[in-house]
Amino acid sequence: MILHRVRDGLPLMNLVSLRAVPILQQLHLEERLLRSSSDNWCIINDGTNRPNIVMGISGRPSELIDLKSVLRDRVPVIRRFSGGGTVIVDDGTIFVTFICNKDAIPGLQPYPHPLMSWTGQLYKDVLHGFGDFHLQENDYAIGSRKFGGNAQSITKNRWVHHTSFLWDYDIKNMEYLKIPSRAPKYRSARPHVEFLCRMTEYVPSRSTFIERTIASLGNHFSVKPIHQDRVIDPSNTLHSSSKLLTRQELEEAYSSLCEKLHIAAISV
């Protein structure tokens, strides 16, 4: 039996607050904490340093991204360790990740739907008064417009739920992403500009959102800030399956796609 740390009757959660850390580094940190820590963690990364495309574990570049423009503009493409869809993230994205032991929340089963539902309720509390928040299928939405994309990874005794929140975004960046064939019903085939919304139009400031998230977590955990120097270790890629796709991989995907479509691959 593993004894988990408790304070004031609530399980402990370590809080790591980051600013503009590269998303690949954040993903490596998350996997390492998932697989080799027995503590509960919340990681908040306020923005990332440059635009990156991040696909889920089963993502196929030819189906999800506009390879020609991605190759032309040298946009990094990452395949992450969790499930779910494709996002493009940049300094307008706020990342919030929970890494928990399976018994951290009483009565919560460590399966996709219960985790989605629990986090949905947490963010409903966070965003109370700022907009008509919904958990729409597996997205966070205001009305019918998505502002937060979710993904999870579940192991024998622990789980990760991570979210990329669209505080703000550049519509030009969204053009790198195709409309996925596997999309939620409520999307109704809408293009990105009609499907998404910006949190900045609803919430007064980034810090308001972050502070309210931490406060809401305090209803379930005893939150303890941990300095990033104690956890960030860019050289430690143990347990890291999240990978940056190489240019060669992207070029091969582009060539195969052109062959399949019987069009000439333009050198980019």
Partner 1 sequence: MAARLLWASRVASYLRISTFPRGFASVVKDLKYADTHEWVKVDGTSATVGITDHAQDHLGDVVYVELPEVGTNVTQGKNFGAVESVKATSDINSPVSGEVVEVNTELNSSPGLVNASAYDDGWIIKVKMSDAGELDSLMDSDRYAKFCEEEDAKH
Q: Which residues bind partner 1 (CB under 8 A)?
A: 56-58, 81-85, 107-109, 111-116, 138, 150-156, 182
For residue 112, the minimal CB distance to partner 1 (Å) is: 4
d(CA 44, CA 208): 13
Residue 79 or 212: the one with the smaller Cβ distance to partner 1 is: 79
Residue 183 or 265: the one with the smaller Cβ distance to partner 1 is: 183
For residue 207, the minimal CB distance to partner 1 (Å) is: 28
For residue 141, the minimal CB distance to partner 1 (Å) is: 14
Q: For residue 122, what are the CA distances in angstroms to 8, 9, 128, 133, 220?
A: 20, 19, 10, 11, 10
For residue 19, the minimal CB distance to partner 1 (Å) is: 26
Residue 11 or 212: the one with the smaller Cβ distance to partner 1 is: 11
Residue 68 or 239: the one with the smaller Cβ distance to partner 1 is: 239
* DSSP labels, 27-40: HHHHHHHHHH--SE
For residue 114, the minimal CB distance to partner 1 (Å) is: 7
Nearest partner of 164 among 27, 33, 67, 66, judged by Cα:
27
For residue 182, the minimal CB distance to partner 1 (Å) is: 7
Residues 6+ apart with CB under 8 A from 62: 253, 254, 256, 257
114, amino acid identity = P
Work out the angle at residue 230's Cα, subtended by the Cα atoms of residues 229 and 233, and round it to the nearest 5 degrees: 70
What are 172-175's contacts with CB under 8 Å, separation 24+? 173/51, 173/88, 173/90, 174/88, 175/66, 175/69
For residue 150, the minimal CB distance to partner 1 (Å) is: 6
CA-atom Rg of the chain in angstroms? 19
Residue 113 or 230: the one with the smaller Cβ distance to partner 1 is: 113
Residue 76 or 114: the one with the smaller Cβ distance to partner 1 is: 114
Work out the angle at residue 104's Cα, subtended by the Cα atoms of residues 101 and 108, and round it to the nearest 5 degrees: 105
Residue 135 or 232: the one with the smaller Cβ distance to partner 1 is: 135
The widest CA-to-CA distance across the chain, in whole angstroms, is 65
The 10 Å Cβ neighbour count of residue 236 is 13
| Structure token digits, residue 202 | 């609803």
For residue 151, the minimal CB distance to partner 1 (Å) is: 5
Residue 26 or 153: the one with the smaller Cβ distance to partner 1 is: 153
